[in-house]
Amino acid sequence: MSKADIFIADAHIKGMDSLQARAFIDFLDHIKGSTRTLYILGDLFDFWFGGNRVFLKRYMPIAKKLKELTDDSVKIVFLEGNHEISMGRYFTNTLKADVYEKDAELEVDGDNFYMTHGDLINYDDVAHIKWMKFMRGPIASLIMRLLPGWFFLYISKKISGASREFSKDKVISIDKHFDELVADMKGKGIETIVFAHTHSPLIKENGSGYIVNPGAFAANGSYARYENGTFTLKNFTQ
């Protein structure tokens, strides 16, 4: 039985009592046994900082479900979004996931894919770029490591809100530079680009490859499936 590659993004899970959390756990059970690689293209969580264990503790049911997948020989690849700062040792050491801070050029079935969350495609959005640079810098990292758990959960809501505010009304603006990205990748021999962030599902041909956005899992269970060289959009329902 052949196994597929699954692409998912923008679940924006806020807590284990949320509908998104329950749906995502059911989704992981659904794809178990039929998946080769799970590509998570960012904003799985509404906020996550892997350097503080309070988040791993809070989302342990999801962490355990992901471990079940890796125990079933599923590879996990994580492209951090604008709501995630360092996935931490559980992802890199326990899950053996490949984690990328911004983007990655990866080989899938002999073809080269470019993958990114997408929030940094618009390089004219200087405020957002500076914000993400600060949040991934040493000062913010030190502060977040030292904060007590209860306070960190409170302040993380503020950080998540700030990240959302920086992106507000700017999501569609990635279109301004997307054609440049496509041309740059084509110059490298890469014709398949997979991105997220806009919450708009998309599959269209691009030469011998595809331009793909799996959509927002938080909205309607949207995700993309890649099998035998072909992408399809799916909607998971519980």
CATH number at residue 206: 3.60.21.10
- Average pLDDT in the chain: 88
pLDDT in tens, 164-189: 554 554 444 566 788 899 999 999 99
Domain that holds residue 128: 4-235
Looking at residue 160, what is its pLDDT? 57
Q: Pick the more confident residue, 161 or 195.
A: 195
Q: Examine the pLDDT at 59 and tell me if it is beyond 90.
A: yes
**Mean per-residue pLDDT, 151-166:** 60
Least confident range from 35-49, 102-116, 132-146, 193-207: namely 132-146
Range ranked top by mean pLDDT from 51-60, 152-161, 191-200: 191-200
Looking at the structure of the chain, the number of domains it has is 1
Question: In the predicted model, what is the mean pLDDT of residues 133-149?
Answer: 77
Given a cut of 90, whether residue 222 has pLDDT beyond it is: yes
Rounded distance between C-alpha atoms, residue 55 and residue 45, angstroms: 10
Q: Rounded to whole angstroms, how far apart are CA atoms 46 and 156?
A: 9
Amino acid identity of residue 134, one-letter, is F
Residue with the bigger pLDDT between 143 and 196: it is 196
How many whole angstroms separate alpha carbon 180 and alpha carbon 177?
5
Cβ neighbors of 74 (< 8 A, separation 6 or more) are 32, 35, 36, 37, 38
Q: Which amino acid is at 83?
A: H
Phi, psi of 102 (to 5 degrees): -125, -60
DSSP state of 93: I
What are the φ and ψ backbone dihedral angles of 193, each rounded to 5 degrees? -120, 125
